[in-house]
Amino acid sequence: MEKRAPHDMIPEAALAWHRAGKGAAIATVVETWGSAPRQAGSQLAISGEGEMIGSVSGGCVEGAVVTEALDALQDRKSRLLTFGVSDETAFAAGLACGGTIRVLVEPVGDGSEALAESLLADLIAARSAPRAVALVTRLDSWDRELCVPGQDQVVDARLKADRSGMEEEGRFIAVHNPPLRLIVVGAVHIAQPLLAIARTCGYAPTLIDPRAAFGSADRFPGETILDDWPDEALARLNPDARTAIVTLTHDPKLDDPAIRVALRSGAFYLGCLGSKKTHAKRIERLAEAGYSAEELARIHAPVGLDIGAKTPAEIAVSIIAQITQRLRL
């Protein structure tokens, strides 16, 4: 199982609170207009004791949402809330950025309008597998169902785009894709901030380096580290369309085998550290090995956006920025 970032454990936290007898509600952004701070699908879990995890507005309207969530735990009714700059409650809570959001608040457990414990448990089981799944809610009737790929073309399109949102028929589709992954080849200094930043951005990172002195737990505490040869490790990890790969060793004996696997994988991003001169030599080697110009064009090198980065941490920021750009644009 890929590890999810703490901010992506909203359903899991809600179910745990509910089963512990605290009560729980989940708030989900279903629509946004203007410069709303959080996108559709963003979630906040609230326990009956006022504990919170996640966010629906970056802090702007959380207080008002928590109040509504606690009320929902009492009356067992789901509700749709709208916050905007013209709404006195929202303005008092600080939403002065010119945006508007609609938030769905659902109590977990019993009640005809509530999110059933069994359905939430099934959702979490799919997330744990991990398998792509969508929770579809009809806002006019509060009917809910889980949809898997191949079951509904509209849901399939949203899963592929990784974008939750409303449909014209009044359905809200909450997308739950497997975690994004970042595979880093080379336990060099840049990898230390890179893995930390990636996890903050929602990636499940894996570090590959067969050199024991580099890929040690002392240098990378708590990280998943593979000491296999890079091509063998990558083949087992089976990069897919939710995987980014970065090579950092500077050593062709380590980087090239990984790049060869990555180029013919489903990974959405491949970035390689090295100067323009180093990359030109890399391209020559790969072309001689039979890789096409189209395949070689997939490589982002020198890796990272050109932001003038100098330190390892700054370079890591530039790499994550480029990965984000490739993923989202």
pLDDT in tens, 221-244: 999 999 999 999 999 999 998 999
pLDDT at 86: 53
Distance CA 257, CA 61 (A): 49
Question: How many domains does one find in the chain?
Answer: 2
pLDDT at 4: 66
Domain-ending residue, one of 176, 200, 226: 176
The answer to the question of residue 18 being in a domain is yes
Could you tell me the maximum CA-CA distance found in the chain, to the nearest angstrom? Answer: 69
Q: Do 138 and 283 fall within a single domain?
A: no
Q: Do 167 and 308 fall within a single domain?
A: no
Domain-ending residue, one of 112, 147, 176: 176
pTM score, two decimals? 0.74
Domain that holds residue 278: 180-328
Average pLDDT over residues 260-272: 96
pLDDT at 161: 86
Q: Do 266 and 130 fall within a single domain?
A: no
Distance CA 240, CA 203 (A): 13
Q: Do 143 and 207 fall within a single domain?
A: no
Residues, the chain, total? 329
Strands 133-138 and 144-147: antiparallel
Tell me the pLDDT of the chain averaged across its residues: 92
Q: Do 19 and 141 fall within a single domain?
A: yes
Q: Is the pLDDT of residue 82 over 80?
A: yes
